[in-house]
Amino acid sequence: MHQRLNRFLEAVASLSSRLSPELSLAGTAIPAVDAARPKAANLSALPGAQERSPSASPLVAKGEAAGLSSYPPVEKWDEWEEYDPKAWPERVKRRYMLIPTTCFNCESACGLLGYVDKDSLEIQKFEGNPLHPGSRGRNCAKGPATHNQVYDPERVLYPLKRAGKRGEGKWVRVTWDQVLEDLGERLRKAFQEGRHNQVIYHVGRPGHDGLMEWVLFAWGVDSHNSHTNVCSSGARAGYAFWMGLDRPSPDHANARVVLLISSHLETGHYFNPHAQRIMEAKMAGARLIVLDTRLSNTASLADYWLSPWPGSEAAILLAIANHLIHTGRYDREFVKTWVNWEQYLKAEWPAEPCTFETFEEKLKELYGEYTFEFAAAESGVEAEVIRQVAEEVARCEGKLASHTWRSATAGNLGGWQVARALWFLNVLTGSIGVEGGTSANAWDKWVPRPHKMPPHPDRWNELTWPDEYPLTFYELSILLPHFLKEGRGVIDTYFTRVYNPVWTNPDGMSWMEVLTDEEKMGLHVCLTPTWSETAWFADYVLPMGHAAERHDITSQETHGGRWIAFRQPVRRVALERMGQDVNYTYEANPGEVWEETEFWIELSWRIDPDGSLGIRQYFESPYRPGEKITAVEYFRWMFENTVPGLPEAAAERGLSPLEYMRRYGAFEIRAGVEAPYIQPVEAELLEDAHVDPETRIVYSRAPAPASPNITPHPAFPDDGGGRPVGLQVGDQALRGFDTPSRRLEFYSPTLRQWGWPEHTIPGYIHSHVHPEVIDQQANEFVLIPTFRLPTLIHTRSGNSKWLYEISHKNPLWVHPRDAARLGLRTNDLVRVSTEIGYYVIKAWVTEGIRPGVVACSHHMGRWRLQDTAMERWSSALVDLTPQGEGRWQMRHRQGVLPFESSDPDSKRIWWSDVGVHQNLTFPVHPDPISGMHCWHQKVVLEKARPEDRYGDIYVDTDRAHAVYREWLALTHPASQVSPDGTRRPYWLLRPFRPTRAAYQLPSGKFAE
Amino acid sequence: MNYGFLIDQRKCIGCHACSTACKSENQVPLGVYRTWVKYVEKGAFPNTRRSFQVNRCNHCANPPCVRICPVTAMYQRTDGIVEFDPRVCIGCKACMQACPYDAIYIDPETHTAAKCHYCSHRVEVGLEPACVVVCPEHAIISGDLNDPESEISQLIARQQVSVRKPEQGTAPKLFYIEADEVTLTPTAAPFSDSFVWADLITEQQIPVFHAAPAESLVPGGDGRGAAAQTAYSGVAIRAPSAQGLGREGGPIVIGEGSMAEHMVQTAYNAQHEIPWHWPVPAYLVTKGIGSGIFILLALLFGLNVSAFSQTFALMATLLSLLFIGLTTVLLVVDLERPERFFTILTRPQWKSWLTRGAFILIGFTALAGLWFLLEGGAYLNFLPVSLVGALRPVFLTLGFVLAVLAAIYTGFLFGQAEGRDLWQSALLPIHLVVQALMVAAVVLLVLGQFIAHPVELETALLWTFGASLVVDLFLILLGEFGMPHASEMAARAAHQISHGKYRGSFWGGAVLAGHLLPLALLLLGASGGGFSFGFVMVAALATVAGLYLYEYAFVMAPQELPNS
């Protein structure tokens, strides 16, 4: 009765809060269904609340009582009964325990609810977790498909060691103990001999926050290598030069204008949570503007789809900026307060009066050339359309939610300026850190500090952070094969984790050449849940858990808010709740599948069993001194100590913080937008502080308190005059931005000091595929090879049968005009030649692409060299034949065929095509500033030749190395330009930041 | 309680989450879908758009699949959900023919029909269907249409909604907000043999439209069929094109789009198996022979065209029974679950013409069989001739009625197939009778080569054969194919038969071999050549083969058109 009353009262409250002027004939208020803003189910209604479909929440009480629920009520999650769907309509009851976890397919970390059958302990299915603040119980196609990955008959279940030559495909099963002993011994030896830099940990999808900072710092290595420069270096650099933080966090839901240079209604960081909120905004009347050369699903739903010539995006954005500037429709007060215009004027126009009016004049001069006509000429988009879009932006009233991540910033030389130009619009409209605007990721992210955080390492690894790229975001991971070929170093032990560089990176053949060279690559350890092209070239293949088989903490800036989510091994949790003792997650996992947290703890323990290397201390339990920490203790301590509000929320429900997270899987730390830059400097920092009279920067000598949140921030050490901690604005000391000027750096002194004076302000750099270098008459085209599909995620979804059934090929998008010129029709074979080779693929003739440009999704073209059980759902069997030194030919032997396995569906595979692996034919194109691999390719198209077969690939790796040298020549190495003898501006973000001493260039390398 | 779905295409982002959530919830095997998302691209660059549409069972208020199901395996619950029971289904696939939305498939594991059942197993524990829960945009709304305050009722009341194929009279309860006509109408968008990211492995397809060279197009206009005639006023006009086929060469295009080959194209869709293949046309032929023989037998003796011949009666009845038996075998063979055939008898659903047909066939077989035994008994002097003779008119009359019903019931069954407009022809029953007489006559003529028929019998058969050939040809050419069709789907199917994939079967098989050749032989024979064994055999084979080819085209062509 009490529950019903509560529910009724809630319904009434929700109604009254959104009383609509519309009244039905009966006079009762009609809920504003269209404008309904779904939100995550409210835990405060617990216990007893019937969790409802979020967006159905405004339904009146009657509907509430009579309607269906989206989820079983939380208080029944331990004991939930449902009818067996296979036996239906016979009513066979099945008993489940519902355990929350987190999806591991893309980076969004959406909530899942694993249905563990209480009788068989099998996982029946995954639904959404309604208590997850980011995904709010809803998922994309990849969420439910997690089940395919867990029950993939082809997954790796036991540790394997190579038996023959590397890459030969011969494996023997080994025990985990053997693996750990071997690796522990090997790494101990390397560390004892000071060969720390020969150990590299290369990760694709981290899937967790904070863990590796803890592990690698404990080892004292600068070993971290990421996939960032095939993904987001361009965008990161653009954002970071502005504000120190390198990632946007748009509050789409409350925006008036959503401006995307991304395809967040179908893919991208954070597809599902963003897509929910973008469409909410659109339904509430926001305008959706999408810049994308190809017709993405996102573009399809946009109010304005702009299909620019690839690389011209910044020209369009600056034309919009110019419109705002010239019509005076920018937030003058915001710009005056928060932009480092004084610094700009003093540096570039010292003779002129340093007033805001001067700056405004300069803005008009600087951007006057970016007329709509200019942008139209560069982009091919009609000037009138750009004008309309500029008008929309001008009308955004400080509520501009914008986003770019891969897309143009990842495609073009100078792509980082696209992000910079986009953020310029947020700056001009004052849409930063406000409701409906865009925040910085770090403001909305929480990475809890572990119980014992090791110090920063005292080493600099030049294999990942080379001299040539002092401003890169981040590691130059794509250049590793070339660095090794050049003899810049060797690798003793190379860990790849959820990473498939042979397939994902450009120039995969060079990766294969290096991975098979045992002199350059001592030992390759592949941590993976499933087979991949890279795992094939490993010495150890170590099976790691999928989303439902591991613990991780994740926190993503999905919206205006802040949350953490807890990925859980759902069977382990179910077993424990049923009273069974589980000491290690692998005990509850299939085969001998481990989770990384336990692996790294165990390995670290074996590297330093006696504590003599100083590593062991970090892996001792905070609860049992001197003993090895368990994974659960590692998380438990954080939940108890470094997640604000969680202990209290747990206590309210009579739970420990760990029990709370076990039960609900997520915790919302803050709802709503909050920006630190307008908050006052913390009182304790102001105790020993002074304000620089000229710059009004507030410096404090108080030591920085250890934050419970270890989300990376720019670093500003105390060089004697205190640390910059804020900005004097009027009579207030506000925190400001994480930049040396504490302001938004329209003008980047860093870029000037580090050798790029021509790029200090938001600008437009001609891409390497600018129309002037494309000879369309010679059948030269720009290839956009970067786009993702809504159903797949790189190579992690190859074992998801439901996803591959929907999408399994990647034809080349060609405009009908170009197709007619080349004599192509849909499904005709076409040869696409790059700088280093070619591939043969089918055409898809469509009006959804700009003439002169072709596009091909990177998601397809998986392959395997042997017909053993290896991702047979999604890979073609190929022959890889050397054609002489550095020349490789790949040819499809057969596509996908049905096969026998424990899953009867494998016999029902009906598709055979798996697409073509185009990335093999791309050379590396590292942007000289951001380090971003500039994905777009200048290609030559021709109808396939008689000898060509579908899927043919040819690559010349010598030529690939030559192209690498050409791009390397564009750089300004630190040793030549560093203003202070350091390798990189210390303040700039750097993951796994070493000590300040390690930033010093070795003597003799510094030119001055 | 009256459950329905609403898909808000304003919000749908085409992410396919509903597709995989459904597969997960209902453990749907590879190759088939209970819900899927169709993509259609339209417009000329840069004004191109991709439209999405979520497809599934419409939970029709008046579900044709339920009406045609012979065993109540497909049924409508009182809460409006159209559900199926795989434990009862015999796998006749009639529901797949009845569904105008391509929503039903045969489950590869159970070999029974399956489709979206509104997750009724969830609904009964108070949960929304899995697709509703997963949808990131809350673009799929489930709920009670009877409750005016439910979200679905309010949206339907306040927004402009549409349904698929309302003209089928199925009263769909799957409503769409802002679904595009190019996705709603299956024939609006052509497709090639592959999609934007998937292959298409299916027999079901509509003609692929190929663009004419750009220079032949008229800018700004329809492009095709440039001025061919002059109106009375002198203005240049286009010649009218074939009725019911839409615009020849593809959908209507606008503006500059007429210059583009791919103005409208299907970019993604689910594929659907064709339910009925060769056994169905074969069954039509054998049933025609079996029923036609008895009709002729009854007519010949009943109307006293010929004196009663016990030998002829016995042989003809035996032939009739054999062919009706063969018919039953073909029917059972074509079931996905043939061992469940008798379910039709144990739990008949009387609205279904499959049920009615089964009972007609059984009734006919029983009656004809009993009569055969009686006449046989009399023939072998086990039974008094007088008794048999007295019963004879009763058997002939009842047998005649049942034979006619056996011949024509398929017309009513095809009429129940809401998904195949071509089959829904009012001419079909009469056509089936004529076909039955035509093949039966020629088969009996063949019989006459073994047991000499009395002259008047032979003559009557020849006349029947000739007349039915003429009438059938008339029905085919002028009735089924000469007469314009009421719907585009029927017109397209007819076009496929007369001008498309089946034109060889149709003109060469059905018309030439099946009618013109036997007619020529008849004329030759009648004009003095006589009817030798070879002559009759050729005529019979040509007629039967022609009928089979005709029925094959007639059965297959409509099934190859997409209903989604």
pLDDT digits (tens, 9 = 90+) for A681-732: 999 999 899 999 999 999 999 988 889 999 999 999 998 889 999 999 999 9
Pick from B123, B149, B198: CB nearest A806: B198
Asked if A815 and B135 come within 8 Å (Cβ–Cβ), the reply is: no
Global confidence as pTM = 0.93
Q: Is A35 on the interface with B (CB under 8 A)?
A: no
How far is the C-alpha of B349 from the C-alpha of B362, rounded, in Å?
A: 16
Count other C-beta atoms under 10 Å from residue B248's C-beta.
11
Pick from B29, B51, B192: CB nearest A826: B192
Mean pLDDT of A431-451: 97
Chain B residues within 8 A of A841 when measuring between CB atoms: none
Q: Is A911 on the interface with B (CB under 8 A)?
A: yes
Pick from A60, A279, A802: CB nearest B11: A279
* pLDDT above 70 coverage of chain A, percent: 93
How far is the C-alpha of A957 from the C-alpha of A108, rounded, in Å?
A: 36
Q: Tell me the two tokens of residue A329.
A: 């429709």
Pick from A56, A275, A305: CB nearest B151: A56
From the CA of A278, how many Å to the nearest CA of chain B? 9
Torsion angle of the four alpha carbons A976, A978, A981, A983, in this order, in degrees rounded to the nearest 10: -100
Chain A residues within 8 A of B24 when measuring between CB atoms: 125-126, 144-145, 147, 802
A654-682: per-residue pLDDT in tens? 999 999 999 999 999 999 999 999 999 99
Chain A residues within 8 A of B25 when measuring between CB atoms: 85, 125, 144
> A160 forms bridges with which residues in the sheet?
A173, A541
User: Any idea what DSSP says for residue B477?
Assistant: I
Asked if B25 and A790 come within 8 Å (Cβ–Cβ), the reply is: no
Q: Which residues of B510-521 are buried (b: 16+ CB within 10 A; e: fewer)?
A: bbebbbbbbbeb
Asked if A802 and B134 come within 8 Å (Cβ–Cβ), the reply is: no
Indicate whether A798 pLDDT > 50: yes
Chain B residues within 8 A of A57 when measuring between CB atoms: none
The pLDDT assigned to A1005 comes to: 56
A486-530: per-residue pLDDT in tens? 999 999 999 999 999 999 999 999 999 999 999 999 999 999 999
Indicate whether A79 pLDDT > 50: yes
Radius of gyration of chain B (CA): 27
Chain B: residue nearest A126 by CA? Answer: B24
Query: Which of B5, B9, B24 has the most A C-beta neighbours within 10 Å, making it the best mutation to test the interface with A?
Result: B24
From the CA of A532, how many Å to the nearest CA of chain B? 21
Q: Classify A245 as helix, strand or coil.
A: coil
How far is the C-alpha of B394 from the C-alpha of B40, rounded, in Å?
A: 62
Indicate whether A1002 pLDDT > 80: yes
A403-425: per-residue pLDDT in tens? 999 999 999 999 999 999 999 99
Average pLDDT, chain A: 92
Chain A: residue nearest B52 by CA? Answer: A297
Q: Is B126 on the interface with A (CB under 8 A)?
A: yes
How would you class A165 by CB atoms within 10 Å of its CB: exposed for 0-12, middle for 13-18, buried for 19 or more?
exposed
Contact A166, A539 (CB under 8 A): yes
Asked if A66 and B127 come within 8 Å (Cβ–Cβ), the reply is: no
Q: Is B338 on the interface with A (CB under 8 A)?
A: no
The pLDDT assigned to A946 comes to: 97
What single-letter amino acid sits at A849?
Answer: I
The pLDDT assigned to A28 comes to: 27
From the CA of B71, how many Å to the nearest CA of chain A? 15
How would you class A583 by CB atoms within 10 Å of its CB: exposed for 0-12, middle for 13-18, buried for 19 or more?
exposed
How far is the C-alpha of A906 from the C-alpha of A896, rounded, in Å?
A: 10
Mean pLDDT of A228-237: 96
How far is the C-alpha of B229 from the C-alpha of B242, rounded, in Å?
A: 16
What number is the ipTM of this complex? 0.93
Residues 774-793 (A) with a CB less than 8 A from some CB of B? 789-791
For residue A1004, name the pLDDT band (cuts at 50, 70, 90).
low
The pLDDT assigned to A898 comes to: 95
Q: Tell me the two tokens of residue A10.
A: 């809630």
Residues 93-112 (B) with a CB less than 8 A from some CB of A? 108-109
Query: Which of A88, A148, A914 has the most B C-beta neighbours within 10 Å, making it the best mutation to test the interface with B?
Result: A88
Q: Is B203 on the interface with A (CB under 8 A)?
A: no
From the CA of A850, how many Å to the nearest CA of chain B? 7
Question: Chain A to chain B, count of Cβ pairs less than 8 Å apart?
Answer: 262
Pick from A91, A810, A908: CB nearest B197: A810
Q: Is B215 on the interface with A (CB under 8 A)?
A: no
Query: Which of B7, B45, B153, B193 has the most A C-beta neighbours within 10 Å, making it the best mutation to test the interface with A?
Result: B45
Chain B residues within 8 A of A819 when measuring between CB atoms: 261
Indicate whether A64 pLDDT > 90: no
User: 3-class secondary structure for B125-180?
Assistant: CCECCHHHHHCCCCCEEEEECCCCCCHHHHHHHHCCEECCCHHHCCCCCEEEECCC
Give me the half-sphere count of Cα atoms (radius 13 Å) on the Cβ side of residue B45. Answer: 26
User: 3-class secondary structure for A18-64?
Assistant: CCCCCECCCCCECCCCCCCCCCCCCHHHCCCCCCCCHHHCCCCHHHH
Mean pLDDT of A875-888: 94
Q: Is B192 on the interface with A (CB under 8 A)?
A: yes
The pLDDT assigned to A631 comes to: 98
Mean pLDDT of A331-341: 98
Q: Is B147 on the interface with A (CB under 8 A)?
A: yes
A918-962: per-residue pLDDT in tens? 999 999 999 999 999 999 999 999 999 999 999 999 999 999 999
From the CA of A59, how many Å to the nearest CA of chain B? 7
Chain A residues within 8 A of B135 when measuring between CB atoms: 138
Give me the half-sphere count of Cα atoms (radius 13 Å) on the Cβ side of residue A421. Answer: 27
Asked if A68 and B45 come within 8 Å (Cβ–Cβ), the reply is: no
Radius of gyration of chain A (CA): 28
> DSSP readout, A488-514?
S--EEEEEEES--HHHHSS-HHHHHHH
Pick A968 or A33 by higher pLDDT: A968
Asked if B20 and A63 come within 8 Å (Cβ–Cβ), the reply is: no
The pLDDT assigned to B219 comes to: 37
Residues 523-582 (A) with a CB less than 8 A from some CB of B? none
A542-578: per-residue pLDDT in tens? 999 999 999 999 999 999 999 999 999 999 999 999 9
Chain B residues within 8 A of A909 when measuring between CB atoms: 30
Pick from B14, B16, B108: CB nearest A908: B108
The pLDDT assigned to A14 comes to: 45
Q: Give per-10-residue mean pLDDT for chain B (564 aa).
A: 97 97 98 96 90 97 97 97 97 97 96 98 97 98 96 96 95 96 86 85 57 38 57 84 68 48 76 93 98 96 89 95 97 96 95 97 97 94 91 95 98 96 94 97 95 91 96 90 88 91 95 96 87 91 97 95 90
From the CA of A163, how many Å to the nearest CA of chain B? 36
Query: Which of B196, B253, B265 has the most A C-beta neighbours within 10 Å, making it the best mutation to test the interface with A?
Result: B196
Q: Tell me the two tokens of residue A984.
A: 């990189």
| Residue in this structure with the two tokens 């007469």, named with its chain if needed | B483
Q: Which residues of A775-804 are buried (b: 16+ CB within 10 A; e: fewer)?
A: eeeeebbbbbbbbbbbbbbbbbbbbbbbbb
Asked if A66 and B44 come within 8 Å (Cβ–Cβ), the reply is: no
Indicate whether A831 pLDDT > 70: yes
Q: Is B128 on the interface with A (CB under 8 A)?
A: yes
Q: Is B241 on the interface with A (CB under 8 A)?
A: no
Torsion angle of the four alpha carbons A525, A529, A532, A537, in this order, in degrees rounded to the nearest 10: 20
Q: Is B178 on the interface with A (CB under 8 A)?
A: no
Chain B: residue nearest A53 by CA? Answer: B133
Asked if A128 and B134 come within 8 Å (Cβ–Cβ), the reply is: yes
The pLDDT assigned to A32 comes to: 30
How would you class A490 by CB atoms within 10 Å of its CB: exposed for 0-12, middle for 13-18, buried for 19 or more?
middle
From the CA of B369, how many Å to the nearest CA of chain A? 40
Pick from A34, A70, A307: CB nearest B46: A307
Chain B residues within 8 A of A805 when measuring between CB atoms: 30-31
Measured at the CA of A809, the angle between CA A808 and CA A814, to 5 degrees, comes to 150
Pick from A144, A297, A827: CB nearest B193: A827
From the CA of B414, how many Å to the nearest CA of chain A? 29
Q: How far is CA A871 from CA A499, A511, A789, A859, A862, in A?
A: 15, 20, 19, 15, 9
